[in-house]
Structure 1
Amino acid sequence: MAAVLGSVIGIERERLSWAAGLRTHMLVSVGSALIMIVSAFGFADVLKGEHVVLDPSRMAAQVVSGIGFLGAGSILLRGEIVRGLTTAASLWSVAAIGLAVGGGMYTVAIAATIIILIVLAGIKPIEQRFIRARQQRRLMLLVERGALTFHSLHDVLGTTSSRVKQFVMQQSDDAPECDEVHITLHRVSEPEYVVLREQLRHLPGVKALREDSAQPEREV
């Protein structure tokens, strides 16, 4: 049961091509269940002795802290963006599911699996539509021909360039000697957006800057 419930969560992570996918989640769940079973029933012979008192929860507690090294291994830092926190949390949750199965709490384990799956697969579209969409901004820059490239933009913005999700350049119809550069920024708060906008406005060769409501057609 621990393997099955862990695989349900693992499949959701696997479809997104995360390093911690199907097999990792299954192994974490099965391992946690085994540790819980050993902790609860593996010392029955020892307990028959006089004046012997054991705490079966101590081994289970070590799973909660020990799973941290797997979670840390799934977290990646790219520029200023941290990726993998959700996968790390799912590994931690799967370990708890395994402990519940090992303790014989099947109903709780199944209910937790359903809730975790809803959070991972069901909440994400809502998050993308109502939260992340508000953190995306599109700008159109009118620049002199050849004055701005993605590499020069990266050099100017530094680590902040990680906020640039899309960079599209095309020839301007109104000013043949200029290029139109469409930039999509993501995961930016209002203060960050104001700073980035001013940085872009003062780039060499930029003649005009405005918010762009149109979706660029091609990426460069």
Structure 2
Amino acid sequence: MNPDAILTALQDSDVMVPLICSLIAGGLIGAERELNRKPAGIRTHALLCFAAALMTLIGLRMNEWVVYLPEGTQIVSDMARMPHAILTGVGFLGAGVIFREGASVRGLTTAASLWLTAALGIVFGTGLMALGMIGATIAVIVLAVLRFFQRLAPPPPFARLEVELAKEGDLTAATLRDKLRGKGIECGPMGFSMDSETGLRRYETLISLRDPTIRPEEIAAMLGGAGAFHRLRIEPVLSEIG
């Protein structure tokens, strides 16, 4: 290896342009993850996209490899194996950013962005620059722009609420819904059942809230003044946070 060989490689646009584009694409996707304080950020995505492009270029330039093989050796080249190997390896990396926290599963969107970043690196490595740029642009739009619309959408179910009341209790489905809304909590369709022997009434519904600081104890205290309940249950519903 000599300086002239390095300079020649740096001047080879077929090599440098895909690598530079892969760094930029990975950095843009990683920047969105970094700004939202996700486990994998700019460096991780940029390095992953760069590595995928680099490995793809290596596979495409097998004719330039310096190898010494026994006489009569036959080499079978299948470029489909390289992308498959890259994306399989990224699967383990993506699994490392997915974890469960309470009733929520975090990191699924980041894992998907890592997998997509590797795919973009493969696209750039094959020299399909226009396709790679389109893919990177769409990825940033999905991650950044659609996040804004996601915040405008109704919040996902937060918990399953069950309230069991005595026959003489004054809490009805309408008052229960009003009290929840007064706390900024929306509830879905209300289920109702009643024990004919004891007169106990049970209301069941899914509740959702935009303010994550509301604690189950606050909901219980709020409903406690509306009528004596025999039983109150708030069960978290599994949700995904990207």
Assess same fold via TM > 0.5: yes
Alignment partner of 2:81 out of 46, 58, 61: 58
Q: How does 1:70-149 map to 2 (within 5 A)?
A: 70-130=93-153, 133-135=154-156
8 Å CA contact 2:123–2:129 kept in 1: the answer is yes
Judge conservation of contact 1:135–1:189 (CA < 8 Å) in 2.
no
Give me the whole-angstrom Cα distance separating, in 1, the residues matched to 2:104 and 2:185. Answer: 13
Indicate conservation of the 8 Å contact 2:188/2:206, yes or no. no
2-side partners of 1:189 and 1:39: how far apart? 54
Cα offset, 1:125, TM superposition: 1.2
Q: State the distance in 2 between where 1:115 and 1:189 align.
A: 34
DSSP 3-state at the match of 2:38 = coil
Paired-residue identity, %: 33
**Structure 1 stretches of 5 or more lacking a match?**
138-159, 162-179, 210-220
Does the Cα contact within 8 Å between 2:189 and 2:206 map onto a contact in 1? no
**Alignment partner, residue 204 of structure 2:** 194
For 1:61-106, what per-residue CA distance to the aligned partner results, in whole angstroms no more than 9, with x for missing partners?
Answer: 1111110111111112111211111111000000011001111111
Q: How does 1:150-161 map to 2 (within 5 A)?
A: none
Residues matched between the structures, number: 164
Partners of 2:63 and 2:143 in 1: how far apart?
A: 37
Q: Which residue matches 2:31?
A: 11
Relative to the length of structure 1, the TM-score reads 0.62
SS in 2 for 1:82: strand
Equivalent residue, structure 1, for 2:230: none
Secondary structure at 1:20 match in 2: coil
Name the amino acid aligned to 2:204. V
> Match of 2:224?
206
- The AA in structure 2 aligned to 1:135 is P
Q: What is the CA-CA distance between 1:208 and the residue it aligns to?
A: 1.3
Structure ranking higher in helix proportion? 1
TM-fit CA distance, 1:127 = 1.6
CA offsets, 1:175-196, max 9 Å, x none? Answer: xxxxx9975568x865799346
Provide the secondary structure at the position in 2 that maps to 1:194.
strand
